[in-house]
Amino acid sequence: MSRLVRIRDMTPWTRRLSLSLAAVLIVAGCAGPTAPSAPPATAVVPTQDGSASVAPTPDPAATPVATTSSTPAPIATTSATQELIDFLLDAVADDPSDGSAQRDLGLALLQRVRETADPSLYPRAEAALDAARELLPDDPLVFAGIGGLQLGRHEFKDALATGQATLEAFPGYSTARGVVVDALVELGRYKEAFAAAEALAADSPDLASLARLSYAHELQGDLVGALAEMEQAAASPGLAPENTAYVLALVGQLRRLTGDPDGARAAYDEALKLLPDHAPSLAGLGRLAVGRGDLEEAKAHFERAAGIVPLPEYVIAHGETLEAMGDAAGARDQYELATVLITLFQANGVVVDVDLALFEADHGDPNRALELATAGYASSPTIRAADATAWALHRLGRDEEAASWSAKALRLGSRDPLLRYHAGAIAAALGRTEEARLDLQAALATDPGFSPTGAAEARRLLD
């Protein structure tokens, strides 16, 4: 039985309120059908570690049209993954006791979540994986899929428990080790997470482990090392087009952060040759356009990305671009749409405290932002949660407190431009001029297009 690997999205959930469903995760995605009558449009391609990935066939006619209304953009319903899901639904209907079909259905639904940003698929995936667990109690992929589902919903303590229990039953299982790494990172247990990522990459230097190690180094401010590892991951043979495009988008992001916009554009363009509607790469081009000061081009890229995959991250970037262009009404429409989308994630069991805190701090109620950030840090004391707390306090004018939280956010040495911008703005509010200058310059030097409104404010503060 072949397996599918999911690749973390080019932007974590908590960078500009990214609700990227793969987030920082590289987990089991979905499995190819065992029956010979599987839809021919679905190609299950092995990866270097023996897992595999669905290679979806792009359907230009199915690309949704971007919208500025308060209704989420329509989702494409025709894809290789959807055809696989339909096939497996029929198989399960014919024989609910077919554990392989239940497992493969659950994992295919998780893959479809990433493709469409439709969180309503999570409960269906959960039901299928729960059925598979009863039918296939000795199949480690089922438990890896459950761990991946928990990670996608930000149920990190549960995901850690699932990963650890899977390793007790199946020692050394690399996919479960990956779930453990991801959960430890998102619980703020960085020392354990980084050691586990190093060990996993040493034992199995494949796409999944190298991408995790790259993210560990990125969190610690080693962008050059992170880029080298991601480029090595991108060289993995036998990847399906979607996974290749995702890795290329990650390479593009890291090239952008290391001061190579031309290299970043080349990576995004290469990804778009594989998948012309690859939303993360389009959003990456939008960030490059913001960095050049070309807001019209940025607007077009963000609008297109949000029309293809209606993630709040892309919708908010579109809104902030409109705001930076002086279109307050258009920006407000996008923020209202983002609120609707976030509510959909919450309604389907996704924990969004930290991400929603940043959105509330920038575009809503700072008091509510502080409540959410505090709750998020209590359950997952990550640098992102610390940054969200700092930013909410800053928005409330409590800058002395904000500064201490900002220091927590930077404790790993992160060069994330958003974190550095927040630290600089807080220092400026406190009159710490030199400290503010260093952080604001660092933010813009790392990525002058990190946020249309944030970058503009950073420049204003520097001036």
Which of the four pLDDT bands, split at 50, 70 and 90, describes residue 58?
Answer: very low
- Please tell me the predicted confidence (pLDDT) of residue 61: 32
| Residue with token string 């180094």 | 217
Q: What number is the average pLDDT over the span 40-68?
A: 31
CATH of range 43-319; options 2.40.110.10, 3.40.50.80, 1.10.10.370, 1.25.40.10: 1.25.40.10
First to last CA, the chain: 60
Distance CA 11, CA 17 (A): 9
Of 17-31, 65-79, 110-124, 203-217, the least confident: 17-31
| Residue with token string 């007790």 | 168
Distance CA 111, CA 82 (A): 10
Of 118-122, 181-185, 405-409, 421-425, the least confident: 118-122
Classify each residue of 64-103 as buried b or exposed e, where b means 16 or more C-beta atoms within 10 Å of its C-beta: bebbbeeebbebbeebbbbbbbebbbebbeeeeebbbbbb
Answer yes or no: same fold for 43-319 and 352-462: yes
Tens digit of pLDDT for each residue in 362-414? 999 999 999 999 999 999 999 999 999 999 999 999 999 999 999 999 999 99
Q: Is the pLDDT of residue 343 over 80?
A: yes
CATH of range 352-462; options 1.10.10.60, 1.25.40.10, 2.10.109.10, 3.10.20.30: 1.25.40.10
Q: Give yes or no for a contact between 280 and 312, defined as CB atoms under 8 angstroms apart.
A: no
194 contacts: CB under 8 Å, gap ≥ 6:
216, 220
Residue bearing the bigger pLDDT, 34 or 267 = 267
Which of the four pLDDT bands, split at 50, 70 and 90, describes residue 201?
Answer: very high
**Average pLDDT over the chain, rounded to whole?**
84
- Please tell me the predicted confidence (pLDDT) of residue 52: 32
Which of the four pLDDT bands, split at 50, 70 and 90, describes residue 175?
Answer: very high
Strands of 23-131, DSSP E: 43-46, 52-55
- Please tell me the predicted confidence (pLDDT) of residue 244: 84
* Rounded percentage of the chain residues whose pLDDT exceeds 90: 74
- Please tell me the predicted confidence (pLDDT) of residue 29: 36
Kind plus residue range of the DSSP H or E element containing 363: helix 353-363
Measured from the Cβ of residue 326, the count of other Cβ atoms closer than 10 Å reads: 9
- Please tell me the predicted confidence (pLDDT) of residue 216: 97
- Please tell me the predicted confidence (pLDDT) of residue 238: 58
- Cα distances from 334 to residues 70, 205, 276, in angstroms, run 7, 41, 24
Q: Is the pLDDT of residue 45 over 70?
A: no
Collapsing DSSP to helix, strand or coil, 54 comes out as strand
Question: Would you list the DSSP string of 358-408?
Answer: HHHHHHS-HHHHHHHHHHHHHH---HHHHHHHHHHHHHTT-HHHHHHHHHH
Nearest one of 106, 90, 154, 74 to 352, comparing CA atoms: 154
Quote the pTM value.
Answer: 0.82
- Cα distances from 289 to residues 68, 176, 264, 416, 432, in angstroms, run 21, 39, 12, 19, 31
Question: CA torsion angle for 164, 169, 173, 176 (degrees, to 10)?
Answer: -30
Residue bearing the bigger pLDDT, 354 or 237 = 354
Question: Could you tell me the residue ranges of all domains in the chain?
Answer: 43-319, 352-462
